[in-house]
Chains A and B, each alone.
Chain A
Amino acid sequence: MTNAAFNTEFEKIRPQLKSYVLRMTAGVQDSEDIVQDTWMKASQKLATFEGKSTLKTWIFAIASNLSLDLLRKKKRWPENVTDICRTEAYKDPANYQAMMQVVQTSPYAKFEIKEHIAFCFTCISKSLPLEQHLCLLLKEVYDFKIKEIAIILNTTTPLVKYHLHTARAKMIEIFDGRCAIINKKGVCHQCTEMNGFFNPKQNSQAELMKIKMVKVAQKADKQELLNLRMDVLKGLDPFSSGAHELELHNLEFNRKTIEKYLEKNQ
Chain B
Amino acid sequence: MTNVSTMGKATTIKKTFSRETTIRQIIQSDASIIWSLLTNAADFARWNSTIISIEGDIELGKKIKLKSVLDPKRTFKLKIKTLISEQQLVWGDAMGNRTYTLQSTDNGQVLFEMTEKIGGLMFPLFASQIPSFDASFEQFASDLKQEAETIFNATA
Contacts and interface: CB of A to CB of B under 8 A. Distances in A.
Is the pairing of A and B real?
A: yes
Interface of A: 145-147, 156-159, 161-162, 164-166, 169-170, 173
Interface of B: 29-30, 32-33, 36-37, 40, 43, 46, 150-152, 154, 156
A146 B153 CA distance: 12
Nearest to B153: A161
Contact of A169 (B32, B36, B46): B46
A161 B152 contact: yes
Please name the 10 residue pairs, one residue from A and one from B, whose CB atoms are nearest each other, closest first.
A158-B30, A146-B156, A165-B151, A162-B36, A162-B33, A161-B154, A158-B33, A158-B32, A145-B156, A161-B151
Contacts of B37: 162
Q: Which of A156, A157, A158, A162 has the most CB of B within 10 A?
A: A162
Main secondary structure of the interface of B (DSSP, over half): helix
A159 B29 CA distance: 11
Nearest to B151: A165
B151 A162 contact: yes
Given A165-B154, A173-B46, 14 more contacts: A146-B156, A157-B156, A158-B29, A158-B30, A158-B151, A159-B36, A161-B151, A161-B152, A161-B154, A162-B36, A162-B151, A166-B43, A169-B46, A170-B43
Contact of A159 (B33, B46, B150): B33
Nearest to A150: B156
Contacts of B154: 146, 161, 164-165
Nearest to B154: A161
